[in-house]
Every structure is written in C-alpha cells, then in structure tokens.
Amino acid sequence: MIEPHATGSANVATRPALVDSDAHCEVPKVDALFPYLPAYWVEHIQQTMFKGATTSYYPSKNAPGTGPEGRRQVGPPPASSLKLVQDELLDPSGVEYAILNCLYAIDTLNNPDAAVAMASAVNDWLIAEWLEKDARLRASLVVPVQLPALAAREIERVGDHPGFVQVLLPVRTSMPLGNRNFHPLWEAITRKNLVAGVHFGGAPGNPPTPTGWPSYYFEEYAGMAQVFATQLTSIISEGVFDRFPSVRVAFLESGWTWLPSHLWRFDKEWKNLRRLVPWVKRPPSEYVHEHVRLSVQPLDGPDDDPRQLLQVLEQLGSEEILMYASDYPRQPVADAEQALLRHLPESFARKIRSENARALYGL
C-alpha cells in the first residue's frame, strides 16, 4: 500500500529533473506555413475558400454551444511562438526536455493531397521554427492518419530527424487503430524507432460515442476515456504488439484512473474468449505494462484526500507506466506535483517526473 509521503516543495536551485511528455504548440495562422508549402498550395489558400486544417480539437466543432462566440482572442494564440513557450513553460519550469504536440487537425481534410501537403508543411515548420532553435525541445510529427499509407510515407520522409521522437495520432479515428488497415502506419513507426502518441482529439466525422452525437462538449470531454479504452482494446486485440513487438505507445491527455478497472475486465474476458484472438498470447495487462505509458494529466481524482488516488496508482501495478505532463498552455484542474507527486516516495516520483519519459523516448 502506497502511503502519503510528503517531500516538500523544491526551490529553483534544487528542483528535481523534469521531462514534460505533453506540451503543445500551435500554428498561429496558415500563413506561417507558406514557406514550407509548394507554390500551388500557397496560391490555393490565398485564392480559394480553403484555409488549411482546423487548428485545434478544443472544443469539438460538432458540439452545440461551444463555438468561438464570446471567446475573444487577445494577442497571439497561446503556444504559437517559441518565445511564448520559452517564457511561459521552458524557462519557469526548468524542464530538461519538453515533447511538443501540435494539434493541427490534418484529419479534418478530406482532400488527400491537401492532407499530405499540410502535414509536411507543419513538420517542416516544427523543424525550422522550434526544434532547431531550442535544444530542450522534442516533437511529435503530424501525419494524415486517415490515409495510413501516405502517413507512413510522411514518417519515412522526416522520421529520422533527431528532434522527432513520436508520431501524433488523434484518439478519435474512423476505425480503431488496431485495424489491419493501419499496419503500414505501425510498421513505419516501428522502423523509425518512434513512439505512437495517441492524443485527445480527432475529427473523423463519426460520433465520439457508440450511440451518436452528444448535445454538449462537456459530454464528449467527460466520455473521452471510453475512446482511449476502445483504442487500447483494439491495439491489443488485433495483435499490434504481437506483429510489431518493439512498438511503444503513449496515451496523452487520456487520464489514467480508468485503466485498472478496464484491465481487470480485459484480462478476465481474454481468459474466457482468447480462442477468438489466438495471436494474443498473454493477458492484456502484460502488454500494457510492457508497451504503454500514459501522461499524468488530466489528473482525475478527489480534491481532498490523496490516499484514494494513491490506491488507484498502486492498482496500476507498475511504477513505470505514468509520465509527467504539463498540458501547456491549458491549465489543468489539478496540479500533478501538489495532488500526487509530493505524496510519493522520492524514487517513485522521480520516475514519473523524468525517468519513465526518458526511457520511452530515448532521451
């Protein structure tokens, strides 16, 4: 049983090593991508109604009452320049490394040529404007996940750049990520020794629930853990880890308190129904402990008693499974340091703060 263990707050001089597994940057406007786009697409954007992809998955464009009305942008968009990220995240936090995830929604583009061109432009923009200007940064490359073969081609194009450590995959997809149609994508991720970062979001056109469209974004957001659970079930059940045994997966902005109970059920049903998936040779929980890591944000737990959260943490059955994340520039409801890490033995907290991400991403 993990007992609450107060470590106190470290000052700037003595603060512990930190690796941020989920920080965000944003394309400020489509013009920022013009230096990295072919002339055809620059002209297309300038002279037609096409203005690139939706810049963010927050909030869903399909949820009533959650549009931009009433949300006035003052100044540049959050996380839209290196200086903003340096001033607001890198310098104050003292992180050794931050993994940048750009939620430029390539999967909103139905034109495959546009999807490929915009994905390539974002990746080249990440290299030129971010990775080559601050050694503390690493990034996830973006791909047209709706076109697995073309996504694999983009991974082949830039996957060897040392700044890219991950391929960003939205958790909402047109079919579960374990489906064999995604094998070219998994093969490319494995061959380039990258992590598959399954992140909150996605706009495949189908509802985010099994029973249709919710009325409010609140419903979609609260229920997103079910989508992550579905993807985890698919990846294991369809044999991704058996076919690609070196693949590593990070669940980002997934929450994690849902995982123990899901694995209990998953293991139980595997014992009963494994003849239907004979390629799954081991209990699902073993695959998770070996191949899957989760970011600590969002931190779903009670506000007043850390013992309940520590109990769920113990039920995960591994000190290697969680990674620190700031979720910058969004402000998390619960601060991971105050709500969780300061209550852990120092060796355990150190794994979450830096060692687990360092091992996953090869930092």
The DSSP string of 35-76 is GGS-HHHHHHHHHSS---SBS--SS-TTSTT-SSTT----SS
Q: How many domains does the chain have?
A: 1
Is the pLDDT reported for residue 4 higher than 80?
Answer: no
Q: Is 67 exposed, middle or buried (0-12, 13-18, 19+ CB in 10 A)?
A: exposed
Q: What 3-state DSSP class applies to 144?
A: coil
- Paired residues of 24 in beta bridges: 101
Mean pLDDT (whole number) for 67-76: 50
Alpha carbon 238 to chain centroid, angstroms: 21
- Predicted confidence at residue 59, as pLDDT, reads 56
Round the average pLDDT of the chain to a whole number and report it: 90
Q: State mean pLDDT over 132-145.
A: 97
Residue 2 lies in a domain: no
Cα–Cα distance, 264 to 256 (Å, whole number): 14
- Cα separation, 356 vs 249, in Å, equals 13
Which pLDDT band holds residue 3 (cuts at 50, 70, 90)? low
Q: Is residue 338 part of a domain?
A: yes
Angle at 26 between CA 20 and CA 30, to 5 degrees: 160
Instruction: Identify whether 183 is part of a domain.
Output: yes
189-201 pLDDT, tens digit per residue, is 999 999 999 999 9
pLDDT: which is higher, 337 or 314 = 314
Instruction: Report the DSSP beta bridge partners of residue 167.
Output: 141, 196
**Residue 235 and residue 261 in contact, taking contact as beta carbons nearer than 8 Å:** no
Residue 13 belongs to a domain: no
Query: What's the domain range around 55?
Result: 19-361
* CATH code, domain with 351: 3.20.20.140
Note whether residue 7 is domain-resident: no
